[in-house]
Structure 1
């Protein structure tokens, strides 16, 4: 049987607010990273490698700055909530902005 402290460890509205703030951070940074990749003219795998490197940096900064090194205090799943789960949704936004900026800078000269 589960311990009562584990059942009531997280207050759901606070966890939802943390997830919303994290989603906003990931979305806005993916737009910025996509803009940078498009302006730099990255194509193919170079653009995806650029995204993954920046994703690791942003996730590390969220861990150190926002969570003060303790993910279990702010998120139920820990590292999966910060770095694992939202990567595909954020990558879609990244690719959209990346291709848009690349097209605006290099194709429509």
Structure 2
């Protein structure tokens, strides 16, 4: 075995130090804001569309809320599939695709649900 030169010893010591250092995830603030904005927009559209569907179908009570939460879970599944189940590349938390703007989406859902139920089944 040939003796190591000073530069080869330096590279070896640098490699051993980098192996000991923990990997830290770095996120782009602009990209994360964009991803959350797209998620917000799609949740609002999904809530409006499913609220219209439940109002037209005439769902009432608990079945209407179950309808909303079914579509929330379905949308989260679509987001996971679109991200190839590598959510850490797009969001800081896995639950974000399921829980982000859940309540504001629920209010949008109820607005469209009640409006279209009244238009189709009451008037």
1:88 Cα offset (Å) = 1.0
TM-score (norm 2): 0.78
- Are 1:70 and 2:86 an aligned pair? yes
Q: The residue matched to 2:24 in structure 1 has which SS? A: helix
Q: Give 5+ residue unaligned stretches, structure 1.
A: none
CA displacement 1:54-74 (0-9 Å, x = unmatched): 111111011102x12111110
Q: Which ranges of structure 2 fall in alignment gaps of 5 or more residues? A: 1-21
Q: Identify the match of residue 116 of structure 2 among 93, 97, 101.
A: 101
- Is residue 64 of structure 2 the alignment partner of residue 47 of structure 1? yes
Query: Which has more radius of gyration?
Result: 2
TM-score, normalization by structure 1: 0.87
Alignment RMSD, CA only? Answer: 1.3
